């Protein structure tokens, strides 16, 4: 049925159509419905996209920081009325071809989204999600596993110390150890003193233990009702099918109800406030230049769609790029090293906000940040913005609105987040998806007078609802918190009567028994290998032939042209090669060809959708000892702006200006701050990279370019003027060695028939590049070295990685190793590391291109136990402890990853990478056929051969606190960890 059938007033499966809105800029139609009995809201975006997304959401405003909404999000997915298994969510991950599955809790909502390209899969997953959210079992043991519990260190021995355990409890310990996360939570607490945003919906570790199981169940009863539900569907599947399934499986069981979940506007402060908070740093760390300062203002109500758009534009003009006046003033002041995390305009809360500030400040300079921000805003309010800057910022807004994204998550999810704030709080799903009328009005207002200056005056200079937050390092804070927690647990233990002790022991035994109980998954729907497409589908086919190193790929890019290019990095002398990631990071942020860095930033904003450079590795398909290092350039622009895009690329590649040492110093500080922030959120990746660097030469290069050693290298460059001068010379030498027309290969992606707008400026770009004599250096070979690395870092939870060497992509055993990794993750590590161990995640992965097999844990309270689990998992696989169903589910999981859809630009970039690597469609099909042919004996054999027999040749790397590492060395029966500080 077409969207025209859904005329306002028509009814389907108990729903009435409220409105139908064409979205020509998105090639889609939005249909807005309301369930007639329960009042459930439903928005459907009808498109030709096969990657269908469904999401079920609830407004869930917490009244405290116990994490009730977050823990409920976890426990709803622990079994339901129709699917009474312990973990249907994770079970379905391996029983489907989903392209996305998750659940997420924000400050005032909880959403459960999933996506799939398979129609039956969508129906299966919708059944699981509907039953989980509306009819969960919410068993007490699930609350104890997912939320929090008291348990003896040895659960069966009351003489051992009492501990707090729980997946969310450990997750939030890790999250709140990140100063960037803490900054956001504390700013929200100060900026919203009277509404739900004052509380930490994820849960404060000190408050989580106060939540009871009964309170969790009451929260579900209060808020998980259709009257408080927001349904979202997207894609090419018929809407009628979604409506009928939701009606039959959920809505017909409910009647009307009044749910009190609406969030009032925040009460305005009468005067600005300053708040000082602290965060823990390790005792060995210097506290100098570790202070965060952020200034936040409460701005307009979310119901005002025009004001939201105006503030979004103003935010971009003030801090959107290095040319923006507030961005420049803050960075050039040298009061800090980088903009504070989370700067910008935030329009997802009921009352919106703008925040800006610095990280990496000294205690002395922290007091100067707020006056600088206010003085800069006053100057901008006086002077305004140039018409060119305004036009550039509007161009970027329009570009972002038009571009179809979705490489890391479904494009539909970005549309949902764009509309969510006004939809939840104002029943307005449309304004976030339509720029048209508001943008036209915005242009008129700007042309008529000092509109933007007045906006600054009203919302920033004259607005008393302003909070200045200073987040300062405290070397003793963690020790005090841990001592207080230990004392509290000792007090609780001392006060436990014998009966209560036995209750804890019995509860622990019951939880363990439940975790180990074999699950009957027969109630869960599943796909089979028959649902897996036998042949790979090419979504960005090559148009014509490759000429002069240029390939054209066809994709529905919505009027945008994308370019991907590779320079040969092996032309760069080995001594300079470690600096290549810095060359890539700095190049788009400096001056070039007579333009200052400010002018370059303005050109990038006004003329493109972005330009970037990155270090990449093309792994050899036949050998783990060979690889091709490349410097990848990426760019995108609307088709009428292709000439400007390639002129910019030519300026940056042929005439970069590294002579501004002050600018280089500022940029290095930003890079360092970003790397340090990422350790807490991606510690497992850093640990794995450090381990892998001792196994293959390509992994060693990856670690040098994107691991802990890169952070250490950046720190070493933050020194004297002489150091910066040498660094500038090295960057210039890299340019002279790297930029070479003869080694450059290019792939451009656009719609068929649109390449004429690209080819001429692309040709002129290539003509500008120098032709250099052939030259390259061969990296030295690497013999695998077993290591046990301990990286000391300020974290209360651990990141554990063990990495083994596998085989190159074309080796027949690669298929079995891929399936083994999926099976170990889903059928063993999840239970042992997450459910039993309390870590936020336990994972296994096999990368067919790098040939490396990894077992990982994320935000893990354990260390040595986790390494024992990794070995036990390998033994389990080698002994054939898995079922035939486990093998089939692993196969589905592998193909779900293999066939995951990409954005149009991402499709072209992927095909370009395949072409560069020699990864032909024929080779990819052979790999696909091998996956489908893997047997049980194959899995047992590769587990024995690669994981068990080579266990002593594997590499182990752990990120943990120094105290944890020292304790592990004292307890381990293996070789001790070599400890180094990050």
Q: Which residues participate in catalysis according to the annotation?
A: 73
Q: Contact, 281 vs 289, CB < 8 A? A: no
Distance CA 92, CA 98 (A): 9
Q: Show Cβ contacts of residue 494 under 8 Å, excluding neighbours closer than 6 positions.
A: none
Which residue in 306, 337, 329 sits closest to 376, CA to CA? 329
Token pair for residue 587?
A: 């190049």
Longest alpha-carbon distance in the chain: 84
Distance CA 611, CA 647 (A): 12
| Crossing angle (nearest 10°) for helices 661-681 and 179-191 | 90
Sign of CA dihedral 877, 879, 880, 886: negative
Q: Contact, 616 vs 773, CB < 8 A? A: no
Distance CA 346, CA 388 (A): 25
752 burial level (CB within 10 Å; 0-12, 13-18, 19+): exposed
Which residue in 771, 890, 770 sits closest to 826, CA to CA? 890
525 burial level (CB within 10 Å; 0-12, 13-18, 19+): middle
Distance CA 522, CA 83 (A): 9
Distance CA 212, CA 201 (A): 16
Q: Contact, 90 vs 167, CB < 8 A? A: no
Distance CA 706, CA 688 (A): 12
Residue 879 DSSP label: T
Secondary structure of 46-72 in HEC code, one letter for each residue: ECCCCCEEEEEEEECCCCCCCCHHHHH
Residue with tokens 């959107």: 320
Token pair for residue 809?
A: 């992509």
CA angle 347, 350, 353 (to 5 degrees): 45
Distance CA 638, CA 757 (A): 10
Token pair for residue 235?
A: 């894609």
Residue with tokens 């091998």: 930
Q: How many beta carbons lie within 10 A of that of residue 518, not counting itself?
A: 6
Distance CA 169, CA 208 (A): 7
Q: Contact, 628 vs 849, CB < 8 A? A: no
840 burial level (CB within 10 Å; 0-12, 13-18, 19+): buried
Which residue in 56, 122, 20, 111 sits closest to 429, CA to CA? 20
Residue with tokens 């025209």: 4
Query: Quick check: helix, strand or coil at residue 621?
Result: coil
Distance CA 376, CA 357 (A): 12
Which residue in 680, 741, 548, 761 sits closest to 960, CA to CA? 680
Q: Which residues pair with 144 in a beta bridge?
A: none
Q: Show Cβ contacts of residue 302 under 8 Å, excluding neighbours closer than 6 positions.
A: 308, 347, 348, 349, 350, 351, 352, 421, 422, 425, 426
Q: Which residues pair with 614 in a beta bridge?
A: 632
Q: How many beta carbons lie within 10 A of that of residue 494, not counting itself?
A: 8
Which secondary structure element, helix H or strand E, spans residue 471, and what is its range? strand 466-474
Helix extents (H) in 517-610: 580-586, 597-607
């Amino acid at each position: 049925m077409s969207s025209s059938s859904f005329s306002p007033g028509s009814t389907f499966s108990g729903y009435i159509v409220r409105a139908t809105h064409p979205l020509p800029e998105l090639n889609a139609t939005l249909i807005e419905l309301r369930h007639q009995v329960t009042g459930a809201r439903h928005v459907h975006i009808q498109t030709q996209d096969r990657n269908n997304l469904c999401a079920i959401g609830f407004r869930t405003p917490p009244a405290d920081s116990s994490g009730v909404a977050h823990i409920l999000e976890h426990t709803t997915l622990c079994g339901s009325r129709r699917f009474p298994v312990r973990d249907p969510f994770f079970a379905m991950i391996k029983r489907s071809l989903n392209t996305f599955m998750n659940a997420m809790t924000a400050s005032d909502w909880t959403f459960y989204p999933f996506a799939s390209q398979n129609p039956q899969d969508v129906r299966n997953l919708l059944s699981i999600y509907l039953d989980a959210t509306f009819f969960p079992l919410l068993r007490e043991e699930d609350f104890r596993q997912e939320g929090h519990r008291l348990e003896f260190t040895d659960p069966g021995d009351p003489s051992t110390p009492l501990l707090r355990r729980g997946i969310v409890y450990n997750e939030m310990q890790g999250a709140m150890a990140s100063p960037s996360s803490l900054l956001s939570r504390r700013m929200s607490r100060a900026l919203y003193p009277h509404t739900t945003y004052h509380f930490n919906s994820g849960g404060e570790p000190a408050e989580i233990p106060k939540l009871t199981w009964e309170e969790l169940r009451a929260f579900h009863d209060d808020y998980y009702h259709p009257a408080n539900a927001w349904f979202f569907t997207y894609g090419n599947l018929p809407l009628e099918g979604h409506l009928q399934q939701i009606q039959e499986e959920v809505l017909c069981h409910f009647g009307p109800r009044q749910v009190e979940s609406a969030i009032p506007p925040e009460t305005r402060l009468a005067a600005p406030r300053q708040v000082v908070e602290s965060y823990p740093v390790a005792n060995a760390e210097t506290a100098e230049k570790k202070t965060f300062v952020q200034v936040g203002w409460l701005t307009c109500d979310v119901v005002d769609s025009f004001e939201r758009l105006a503030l979004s534009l103003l935010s971009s003009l003030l801090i959107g790029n290095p040319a923006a006046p507030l961005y420049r003033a803050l960075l050039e002041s040298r009061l800090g090293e980088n903009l504070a995390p989370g700067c910008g305009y935030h329009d997802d809360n009921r009352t919106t906000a703008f925040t800006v500030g610095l990280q990496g400040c000294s205690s002395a300079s922290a007091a100067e940040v707020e006056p600088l921000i206010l003085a800069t805003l006053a100057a901008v309010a006086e002077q305004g913005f140039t018409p060119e800057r305004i036009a550039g910022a509007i161009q970027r807004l329009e570009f972002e609105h038009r571009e179809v994204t979705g490489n890391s998550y479904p494009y539909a999810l970005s549309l949902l987040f764009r509309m969510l704030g006004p939809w939840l709080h104002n029943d307005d799903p449309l304004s976030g998806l339509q720029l048209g009328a508001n943008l036209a009005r915005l242009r008129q207002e700007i042309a008529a007078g000092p509109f933007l200056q007045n906006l600054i005056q009203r919302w920033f200079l004259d607005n008393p609802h302003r909070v200045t937050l200073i987040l300062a390092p405290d070397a003793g804070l963690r020790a005090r918190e841990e001592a207080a927690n230990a004392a509290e647990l000792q007090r609780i233990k001392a006060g436990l009567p014998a009966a209560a002790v036995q209750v804890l022991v019995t509860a622990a035994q019951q939880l363990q028994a439940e975790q180990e109980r074999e699950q009957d998954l027969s109630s869960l729907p599943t796909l089979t290998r028959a649902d897996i497409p036998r042949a790979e589908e090419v979504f960005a086919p090559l148009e014509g032939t490759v000429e002069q190193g240029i390939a054209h790929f066809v994709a529905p890019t919505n009027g945008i042209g994308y370019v991907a290019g590779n320079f040969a990095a092996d032309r760069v002398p080995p001594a300079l090669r470690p600096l290549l990631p810095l060359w890539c990071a700095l190049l788009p942020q400096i001056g070039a060809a007579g333009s200052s860095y400010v002018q370059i930033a303005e050109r990038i904003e006004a003329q493109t959708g972005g330009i970037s450079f990155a270090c990449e590795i093309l792994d050899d398909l036949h050998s783990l000892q060979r690889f091709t290092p490349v410097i990848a350039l990426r760019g995108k622009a609307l088709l009428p702006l292709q000439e400007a895009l390639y002129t910019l690329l030519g300026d940056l590649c042929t005439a970069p200006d590294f002579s501004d040492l002050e600018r280089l110093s500022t940029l290095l500080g930003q890079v360092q701050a970003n790397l340090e922030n990422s350790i807490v959120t991606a510690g497992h990746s850093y640990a794995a990279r450090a381990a892998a660097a001792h196994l293959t030469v390509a992994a060693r290069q990856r670690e040098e370019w994107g691991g802990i050693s890169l952070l250490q290298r950046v720190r070493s460059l933050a020194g004297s003027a002489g150091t910066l001068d040498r660094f500038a010379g090295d960057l210039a030498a890299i340019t002279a060695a790297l930029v070479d027309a003869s080694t450059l290969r290019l792939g451009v992606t656009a719609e068929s028939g649109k390449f004429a707008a690209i080819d001429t400026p692309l040709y002129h770009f290539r003509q500008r590049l120098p032709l250099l004599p052939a030259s390259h250096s061969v990296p030295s070979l690497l013999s695998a070295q077993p290591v046990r690395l301990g990286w000391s870092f300020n974290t209360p939870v651990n990141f554990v990685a063990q990495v083994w060497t596998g085989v190159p992509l074309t080796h027949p055993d690669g298929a079995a190793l891929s399936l083994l990794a999926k099976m170990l993750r889903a059928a063993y590590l999840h239970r042992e590391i997450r459910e039993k161990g309390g870590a936020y995640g336990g994972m296994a992965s096999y990368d067919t291109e790098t040939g490396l097999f990894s077992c990982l844990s994320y935000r893990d309270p354990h260390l040595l136990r986790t390494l024992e689990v990794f070995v036990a998992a390998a033994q389990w696989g080698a002994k054939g402890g898995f079922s035939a169903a486990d093998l089939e589910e692993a196969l589905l999981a592998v193909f779900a990853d293999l066939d995951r859809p990409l954005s149009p630009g991402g499709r072209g970039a992927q095909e370009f990478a395949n072409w560069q690597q020699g990864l032909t469609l024929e080779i990819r099909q052979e790999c696909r056929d091998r996956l489908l042919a893997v047997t049980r004996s194959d899995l047992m054999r590769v587990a024995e051969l690669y994981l068990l027999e080579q266990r002593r040749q594997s590499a182990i790397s752990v990120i943990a606190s120094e105290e944890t590492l020292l304790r592990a060395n004292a307890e381990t029966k293996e070789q001790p960890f070599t400890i180094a500080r990050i």
